[in-house]
């Protein structure tokens, strides 16, 4: 095989005129992270947050960058005139971020610049401003801008996450619904209860969250406004009320109810509380997810004998099976571009998080997991969060969609489960 390739190549060289240009094909690369130097920003000493540290941590977690330790830096430039490319090249940096923070009467303004060390040019200069309590937002804005300029993908460092924490001590505040930055920082409790909380889901405009609460002694779906904390109970049916999912226009919820005997999928119009049954099968139908066009739902069903993922058209009710590999595929989530389904796949008794290309059906294992729980995809489609176990404790972990990067979020007091990554703020 290889021999014939070489032979062909020689032939083609002879066949072309002498001065025809040689083309060398590069078919593989490294998945080494790109070295980047984030210089501590001038004028940011003594602030309540270490901006350089937050930016470096963001870039490191993306898996695409390897930040250079500040103790290795030969100089700390704050503007273009002070940048000597040779120094940074010696450190092996491909990119360089410098900046300057100005305090204008309690309001901070950061001017920051990104340099391409190898080509010796400035890529951009940008500004971001905020108050003392927004210093982390300033840092994440820097990370987003740098990430997008170099990778071509919108950064998701400024987005938020929701999760449920179980303090494992009976009492009024045992279960907590927590809202935090995507890096786990600045967490705050949205709601707490002595009874379990499940399945938090963001509205697409990020103003509300829907979840399941057992506070009324049976599962019920609630909607809570993030700004005011105002809660509205949406369902109170006999049996299971679960797995709420917002329609793309935020007008309806898809959900699972077992009021008619066994779990079926319904849609609920939020304003009118008008209920519509979508599936009708003696098997269990659960975990609905909207497609981006709002015309279909994907869901899990054991109608074929084992849990598999199906798609149902809301207009016609036509059902199509999407997964065929293995005897257990559940907890589906569609990627924001609609091209990939992420799910929990069981193989030889072990749960894996896998991705499946919607068009080709090709499945790929991203990571092993200890819990059969829904993964949640970042709005830029580059990472996903999932609940797993570490040292007998429920923790959140993340894995990149190409499986190259894995990390755990800082451990919390209790068991952490049911993560939900927010959409991009509009």
Partner 1 sequence: MEAEKKQQEQQRKQREQQAFEAALAQEQASLEEQSYAVTAQSYMSAIAQRVSSKWSRPASARNGMQCLLLIKLVPTGRVVSVDVLKGSGNSAFDLSAVQAVKSVEQFDEIKDMPREVFERHYREFEFLFNPQDLRQ
Binding site for partner 1 (CB under 8 A): 6, 9-10, 13-14, 18-19, 21-34, 62-64, 94, 116, 118-119, 150-153, 357, 360, 362, 364, 382, 400-402
Query: In angstroms, rounded to a whole number, what is the distance separating the alpha carbons of residues 374 and 24?
Result: 44
State the pairing for strand pair 275-277/264-269: antiparallel
Q: Is 185 exposed, middle or buried (0-12, 13-18, 19+ CB in 10 A)?
A: middle
Q: Which is nearer to partner 1, 195 or 337 (CB)?
A: 337
> How near is the Cβ of 125 to partner 1 at its closest, in Å?
18
> How near is the Cβ of 54 to partner 1 at its closest, in Å?
20
- Whose CA is closest to 336, among 358, 308, 362? 358
Q: Which is nearer to partner 1, 24 or 81 (CB)?
A: 24
- CA distances for 134 relative to 106, 117, 221, 335, 389, angstroms: 11, 30, 33, 30, 32
- Whose CA is closest to 127, among 113, 116, 140? 113
> How near is the Cβ of 57 to partner 1 at its closest, in Å?
17
Which residue is associated with the tokens 């990778």? 151
> How near is the Cβ of 118 to partner 1 at its closest, in Å?
5
Three-class SS of residue 80? Answer: helix
Three-class SS of residue 135? Answer: helix
> How near is the Cβ of 377 to partner 1 at its closest, in Å?
14
Q: Which two tokens stand for residue 260?
A: 């008619």
> How near is the Cβ of 382 to partner 1 at its closest, in Å?
5
> How near is the Cβ of 344 to partner 1 at its closest, in Å?
20
Q: Which is nearer to partner 1, 32 or 228 (CB)?
A: 32
Phi, psi of 234 (to 5 degrees): -100, -30
Query: In angstroms, rounded to a whole number, what is the distance separating the alpha carbons of residues 72 and 59?
Result: 18
> How near is the Cβ of 322 to partner 1 at its closest, in Å?
17
DSSP element (H, E) containing 88: helix 85-90
Query: In angstroms, rounded to a whole number, what is the distance separating the alpha carbons of residues 268 and 279?
Result: 13
Q: Is 364 exposed, middle or buried (0-12, 13-18, 19+ CB in 10 A)?
A: middle
DSSP structure class, residue 74: S
* Measured torsion, CA atoms of residues 61, 62, 63, 64, in degrees rounded to the nearest 10: -140
Q: Which is nearer to partner 1, 21 or 273 (CB)?
A: 21
Q: Which is nearer to partner 1, 62 or 329 (CB)?
A: 62
> How near is the Cβ of 204 to partner 1 at its closest, in Å?
23
C-alpha gyration radius of the chain:
25
Which residue is associated with the tokens 């800082």? 410
Q: Which is nearer to partner 1, 2 or 273 (CB)?
A: 2
> How near is the Cβ of 236 to partner 1 at its closest, in Å?
44
Q: Which is nearer to partner 1, 92 or 304 (CB)?
A: 92
Q: Which is nearer to partner 1, 118 or 189 (CB)?
A: 118
Q: Which is nearer to partner 1, 64 or 191 (CB)?
A: 64
Q: Which is nearer to partner 1, 132 or 325 (CB)?
A: 325
Q: Is 51 exposed, middle or buried (0-12, 13-18, 19+ CB in 10 A)?
A: buried
Phi, psi of 15 (to 5 degrees): -70, -25
């Amino acid at each position: 095989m290889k021999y014939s390739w070489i032979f062909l190549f020689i032939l083609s060289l002879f066949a072309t005129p002498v001065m025809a240009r040689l083309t060398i094909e590069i078919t593989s690369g490294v998945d080494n992270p790109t070295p980047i130097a984030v210089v501590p920003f001038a004028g940011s000493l003594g602030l309540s947050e270490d901006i350089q540290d937050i930016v470096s941590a963001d870039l490191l977690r993306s898996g695409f960058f390897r930040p250079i330790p500040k103790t290795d830096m030969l100089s700390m430039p704050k503007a273009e005139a002070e940048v000597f490319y040779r120094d940074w090249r010696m450190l092996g940096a491909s990119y360089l971020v410098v900046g300057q923070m100005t305090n204008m009467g309690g309001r901070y303004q950061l001017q920051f610049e990104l340099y391409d060390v190898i080509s010796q040019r400035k890529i951009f200069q940008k500004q971001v401003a905020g108050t003392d309590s927004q210093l982390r937002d300033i840092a994440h804005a820097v990370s987003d801008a740098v990430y997008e300029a170099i990778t071509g993908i919108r950064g998701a460092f400024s987005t938020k996450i929701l999760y449920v924490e179980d303090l494992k001590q009976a009492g009024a505040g045992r279960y907590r619904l927590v809202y935090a930055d995507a890096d786990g920082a600045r967490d705050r409790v949205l709601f707490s209860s002595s009874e379990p909380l499940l399945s938090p889901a963001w509205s697409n405009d990020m103003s509300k969250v829907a979840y399941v609460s057992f506070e009324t002694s049976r599962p019920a779906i609630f909607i809570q406004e993030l700004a005011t904390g105002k809660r509205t109970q949406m369902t109170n049916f006999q049996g299971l009320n679960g797995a709420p999912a917002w329609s793309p226009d935020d007008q309806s919820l898809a959900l699972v109810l077992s009021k008619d005997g066994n779990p079926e999928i319904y849609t609920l119009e939020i304003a009118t509380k008008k209920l519509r049954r979508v599936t009708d099968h003696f098997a269990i139908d659960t975990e609905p997810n909207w497609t981006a066009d709002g015309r279909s739902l994907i869901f899990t069903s054991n109608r074929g004998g084992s849990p598999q993922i199906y798609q149902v058209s809301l207009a016609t009710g036509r059902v199509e099976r999407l997964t065929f590999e293995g005897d257990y595929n559940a907890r589906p989530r569609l990627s924001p571009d609609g091209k990939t389904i992420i799910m929990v796949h069981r193989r030889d008794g072990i749960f894996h998080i896998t991705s499946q290309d919607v068009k080709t059906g090709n499945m790929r294992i991203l990571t092993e997991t200890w819990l059969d729980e829904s993964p949640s995809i970042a709005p830029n489609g580059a990472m996903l969060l999932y609940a797993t176990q570490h040292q007998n404790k429920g923790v959140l972990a993340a894995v990149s969609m190409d499986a190259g990067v894995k990390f755990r979020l800082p451990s919390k007091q209790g068991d952490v489960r049911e993560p939900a990554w927010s959409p991009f703020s509009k």
